Structure 1
Amino acid sequence: MSGERLILASKSAARRSMLDGAGVPFSVQVADVDEDAVKATHDPADAAGLAVELARVKALAVSRHDPEAWVLGADQTLAFAGGLVSKASSLEAARTRLAAMRGRSHQLHSGAALARNGQVVWSGVDSVTMRMRDYSDAFLDAYLAAEGEAVLASVGSYRLEGLGAQLFEAVEGDYFTVLGMPLWPVLAELRRAGVLAT
């Protein structure tokens, strides 16, 4: 193993699981950033750019406190019907959103950024198109009852690695991007940074 330290600036269980699964050694320090302030100054039509900007802000926030470590920030945005979608605030809001998205497509954009010494040294984004099936109201109610408030942790009100897989008929793009991080480019950058063996 290298002597380089990696900090994940995210509280996402899915991102932790991805890095664990890929055998990446890391610690977690959740970035204390005002995401709403970042969103307020960003063009809502540029959902992919916002995902990268949020990742950069998170990486920088933690890097400033631990400049010797490599810091990985990540975030995900969802674009639907020409607008930017935020996490649902309640199960009723999640139900309304999922009812609107059924039978239609939306895009997920997963951004990542690597910082060191208080500077971003790399950032990138990957996008996927998610096509939901035309599920029934009965299925939607059963899904929300089974998943409960866990759906509020996801911008799309679903986890593809769980029961949420049944909401879809097709996904165009990388599975890891759906989970919340463009893993292949991140691993390449961690090798370049010396965090992972080449």
Structure 2
Amino acid sequence: MSLAITLASGSASRQGLLAGAGVDAASIRPNVDEDAAKAALRAQGMSVRDQAMKLAELKAVKVSNRTPGLVVGGDQMLSLENEAFDKPADLAAARDHLRKLSGKTHTLETAIVVCENGAPVWRHLARPKLTMRPLSEDFIESYIGRAGDALLSTVGAYQLEGLGAQLFTKIEGDYFSILGLPLLPLLDYFRTRGAIAS
């Protein structure tokens, strides 16, 4: 019998990527206080990439402690010149994000951790780099007006799969990882464990 797969997340994007790839996975919100965890990790001086990995692990461990099979936790943080960006709280914050990212290259620290029986058994970090073109104030206002509150669900205040494609001049890295889940290495791991067909 194949191992059950559970996504320790309420992310519609991550759920959609797994479902689109034909992976039957349950989804359970881990209910981790991410703000408190981030504050503690930042107080320790932890790098942005290590913060993302630690948060992914916290989510996976919490759900795995009460759920059999393989539990996938994920986290994505935006790093610009070693500064961590969180999801914007409102459209004014989204506007500030876009102004700071305009004309620069940032990294999406996209971490996944798979746990089994409450312990990590596999982890992966993808680091796509995205170069945003210089954005005029008029463009930013128009973009925010068109995209609206959907921007508040992403760390960079953009959705590459939609209007966000207009923001960039160059992208280096895996498309799935940009959307929040390094899907291809994860599928590989599932196959090695017999959780999906090989």
* Separation in structure 1 between the aligned mates of residue 49 and residue 82 of structure 2, nearest angstrom: 13
User: What is the alpha-carbon root mean square deviation over aligned residues?
Assistant: 1.3
Q: Which residue of 1 aligns with 2:178?
A: 178
> Quick one: distance in 1 between partners of 2:157 and 2:105?
14
Partner residue, 1:22: 21
Q: Which amino acid is the alignment partner of residue 35 of structure 1? A: E
Secondary structure of the corresponding residue to residue 106 of structure 2: strand
* Contact 1:9–1:58 (8 Å) recurs in 2: yes
User: Residues of 1 paired with 2:62 and 2:92: CA distance?
Assistant: 33
| Mapped partners of 1:147, 1:45: distance in 2 | 33
8 Å CA contact 1:45, 1:84 repeated in 2: no
What does residue 42 of structure 1 align with? 41
Q: What pairs with 1:108-123 in structure 2 (closer than 5 Å)?
A: 108-123=108-123
Where in structure 1 are there 5+ consecutive unaligned residues? none
Give distance in 2, aligned partners of 1:163 and 1:104. 18
* Distance in structure 1 (CA, Å) of the matches to 2:154 and 2:191: 29
Greater alpha carbon shift after TM alignment, 161-170 vs 47-56: 47-56
Partners of 1:184 and 1:120 in 2: CA distance: 19
Q: TM-score, normalised by structure 1?
A: 0.94
Q: 1:45, CA displacement in angstroms?
A: 5.6
Q: May I ask how many residue pairs the two structures share in their alignment?
A: 196
One-letter amino acid of the counterpart of residue 9, structure 1: A
The amino acid of 1:133's aligned partner reads: R
1:41 deviates by: 3.0
Matched-pair contact (CA < 8 Å) for 2:7–2:27 = yes
**2: CA distance, partners of 1:133 / 1:144:** 16
2:65 counterpart residue number: 64
Question: 2: distance between equivalents of 1:195 and 1:165?
Answer: 34
Question: Which ranges of structure 2 fall in alignment gaps of 5 or more residues?
Answer: none
Are the equivalent residues in 1 in contact too, given 2:114–2:121 (CA < 8 A)?
yes
The TM-score with structure 2 as length reference comes to 0.94
Paired-residue identity, %: 39
How far apart are the structure 2 equivalents of 1:46 and 1:147? 31
